[in-house]
Amino acid sequence: MTLEPGDGVWVFNPGEAKESVWLGWPPDEAPDPLIDAPAGFSIRCNTGENPLHLQAEESVEVFQWDGQTWSRSTFSQITNDWIPEAPAIAPDEAFFLNQL
């Protein structure tokens, strides 16, 4: 499987733990915080070395998994703000993005 910079992946392993090796090189430039994704659900990733503070121009939902629970942040065009708050995406963290 080949991922482009900014793409993310979700690995589901319901069985016994297995060892995986992931190999890649981060891009030289910082990621653009402005979301550029297709309509509907996609998996994205922070390719930078610092937390990514997303900016949006259209209504989007961001779903983050912390290993136990999901959190959801929604950007509203009506209020021009994130509800409940803007997500901070850690370096190398993948997240689900729903472009509404």
Strand order in the sheet with 40-45: 40-45, 94-99, 60-65, 70-76, 81-83
| pLDDT the model gives residue 62 | 93
Render the burial of 65-87: b for 16+ CB within 10 Å, e for the rest: eeeeeeeebbbeeeeeebeeeeb
> What sign has the CA pseudo-torsion 58, 49, 8, 85?
negative
The answer to whether 99 touches 60, Cβ cutoff 8 Å, is yes
| pLDDT the model gives residue 24 | 57
Instruction: Find tokens 């589901």 and name the residue.
Output: 12
The type of residue at 86 is A
Q: What is the mean pLDDT of each run of 10 residues along the chain (100 residues)?
A: 68 75 58 65 80 80 91 92 91 86
| pLDDT the model gives residue 71 | 96
| pLDDT the model gives residue 70 | 94
